[in-house]
Chains A and B, each alone.
Chain A
Amino acid sequence: SAVISQKPSRDICQRGTSLTIQCQVDSQVTMMFWYRQQPGQSLTLIATANQGSEATYESGFVIDKFPISRPNLTFSTLTVSNMSPEDSSIYLCSVAPTGDGYTFGSGTRLTVV
């Protein structure tokens, strides 16, 4: 199965600023996914990123707030823009199964103060 490196692992940011999270995969994958895990809650899909096309966002998430780049088949970034304390969450990237299950990165724990 694929191995994902996600950076940064955690960050504390001031409200109104932006943070870009990087996700690097050790093999080429068609689809990459970005999830949010709010405190005490489960994972919610933000968007699906395909190389060479615009990301597809789920209901409640918009491109202006969460712009995504997918420049090649092994890399993607998610930016959390104009942050507020409500954006404090764990953000995770995932790739479609190369074996039997979806693989997740280790997550980025974001705290907005």
Chain B
Amino acid sequence: EDQVTQSPEALRLQEGESSSLNCSYTVSGLRGLFWYRQDPGKGPEFLFTLYSAGEEKEKERLKATLTKKESFLHITAPKPEDSATYLCAVQAGANNLFFGTGTRLTVIP
């Protein structure tokens, strides 16, 4: 059975304090691993797609990496506007996504 586990559930960082969010997955035939940002009252906003182990992608202060068992979302020198819930999802056989429960990030000025 496909499974996605995100940790930690919640993370509080001081502005400028770098950290990483984890997404562990168990899926047969990974077709893609997706990272999304979700602000309160809004739909998920696409960040990255990773397709194979060893792949890395960057966007501003965010960097996503992928191994055969997990993905990390590294946040470098975060700012208060980075506060959001970060969701990880995997795509296995079909076109739909299977989501984790997310990490709620709070960046304190």
Contacts and interface: CB of A to CB of B under 8 A. Distances in A.
Contact of A100 (B43, B44, B49): B49
A48 interface: yes
Contacts, number: 54
Interface residues of A, number: 25
A69 B91 CA distance: 24
A31 B99 contact: no
A33 B91 CA distance: 13
B: contact size bracket? 20 to 34
B54 interface: no
Given A42-B87, A48-B95, A48-B96, A101 B49 contact: yes
Contacts of B94: 48
Which interface residue of B43, B49, B94 has the most chain A CB atoms within 10 A? Answer: B43
Contact of B100 (A42, A100, A104, A109): A42
Interface string A74-113: 0000000000000000001010110011111111010000
Interface in B82-109: 87, 89, 94-102
Interface of B: 34, 36, 41-49, 87, 89, 94-102
Interface of A: 1, 4, 6, 31, 33, 41-45, 48, 58, 92, 94, 96-97, 100-107, 109
